């Protein structure tokens, strides 16, 4: 991993922040740490950040609020880090635009691996050859990572973009839950993770998200893209 990749670790527990910094720096990342969201926002504004590991529960503004603020102007990968493993926080984090949700009991090495996986997928997509995928009301420019729906630009998170690109490039192919988890979440997660991301993606590209025309559920199996 090139040393130019800068990761911002946001956690009010200094011991956790320092531990993650040590592990990430050992993988040649440049690491910045912040103890609260106010400090994190300043660092985000003043530095070129390639990825954020973000604690949820902190004094003052929580991680969810910072994520919402960042998503208004950036699609930088965000990995939530939480002491809680319940689905409510997980679903909320993914719905707000998080790219992954990691429980703090995970080994530091696993957290680093998941940071690297998210950045690797993002870099791979950015290096793709110039290519325009056109399905009528939806158009995707692979080289610029731009998505246009009915003539209007749509802002997608890195994970949403990667999912849509996969479906765009394989119309009518059925991707199982297991295949999607293996490709985008290193096999870690469950159907809820996928459903939240696909639901959020439908909200952005479908005329009627409750009756999707493009991202169609294959009951009990997974999803496919109806390219028309």
Q: Mean pLDDT across the stretch 69-80?
A: 89
In SS3 terms, 145-189 reads as: CEEEECCEEECCCHHHHHHHHHHHHCCCCCEEHHHHHHHHCCCCC
Chain segment 5-57, per-residue pLDDT in tens = 899 999 999 999 999 999 999 999 999 999 999 999 999 998 889 999 999 99
* CB-side neighbour CA atoms (13 Å) of 14: 0
Q: Mean pLDDT across the stretch 133-150?
A: 86
- Sort strands 132-135 and 100-103 into parallel, antiparallel or unpaired: unpaired
Q: Residue 216: which H helix or E strand, with range?
A: strand 215-218
Cβ 148 vs Cβ 136: under 8 Å? no
Q: What is the pLDDT of residue 2?
A: 43
Q: What is the pLDDT of residue 3?
A: 44
State the average pLDDT for the chain. Answer: 87
Q: Mean pLDDT across the stretch 95-105?
A: 87
Cβ 211 vs Cβ 224: under 8 Å? no
Q: Mean pLDDT across the stretch 62-86?
A: 88
Q: What is the pLDDT of residue 33?
A: 96
Between 146 and 188, name the one with better pLDDT: 146
Q: What is the pLDDT of residue 118?
A: 84
CA distance 182 to 200: 20
Q: What is the pLDDT of residue 14?
A: 92
Q: What is the pLDDT of residue 179?
A: 92
Q: Considering Cα of 148, then 69, then 159, then 93, what sign does the dihedral take?
A: negative
Whether the pLDDT of residue 88 is over 60: the answer is yes
* Confidence category of residue 186, pLDDT binned at 50, 70, 90: confident
């Amino acid at each position: 991993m090139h040393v130019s990749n800068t990761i911002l670790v946001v956690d009010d527990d200094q011991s956790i922040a320092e531990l993650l910094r040590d592990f990430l720096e050992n993988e040649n990342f440049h690491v910045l740490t912040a103890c609260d969201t106010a400090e994190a926002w300043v660092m985000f504004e003043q530095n070129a950040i390639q990825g954020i590991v973000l604690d949820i529960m902190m004094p003052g503004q929580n991680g969810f609020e910072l994520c919402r603020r960042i998503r208004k102007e950036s699609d930088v990968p965000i990995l939530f880090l939480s002491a809680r493993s319940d689905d409510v926080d997980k679903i909320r984090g993914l719905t707000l635009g998080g790219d992954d949700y990691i429980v703090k009991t995970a080994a530091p090495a696993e957290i680093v691996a998941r940071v690297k996986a998210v950045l690797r997928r993002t870099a791979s997509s950015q290096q793709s050859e110039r290519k325009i995928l056109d399905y009528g009301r939806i158009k995707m420019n692979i080289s610029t990572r731009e998505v246009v729906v009915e003539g209007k630009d749509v802002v997608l998170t890195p994970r949403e973009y990667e999912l849509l690109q996969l479906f765009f490039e394989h119309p009518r192919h059925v991707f199982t839950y297991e295949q999607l988890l293996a490709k985008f979440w290193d096999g870690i997660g469950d159907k809820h993770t996928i459903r939240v991301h696909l639901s959020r993606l439908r909200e952005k590209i479908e005329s009627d998200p409750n009756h999707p025309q493009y991202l169609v559920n294959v009951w009990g199996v997974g999803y496919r893209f109806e390219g028309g």
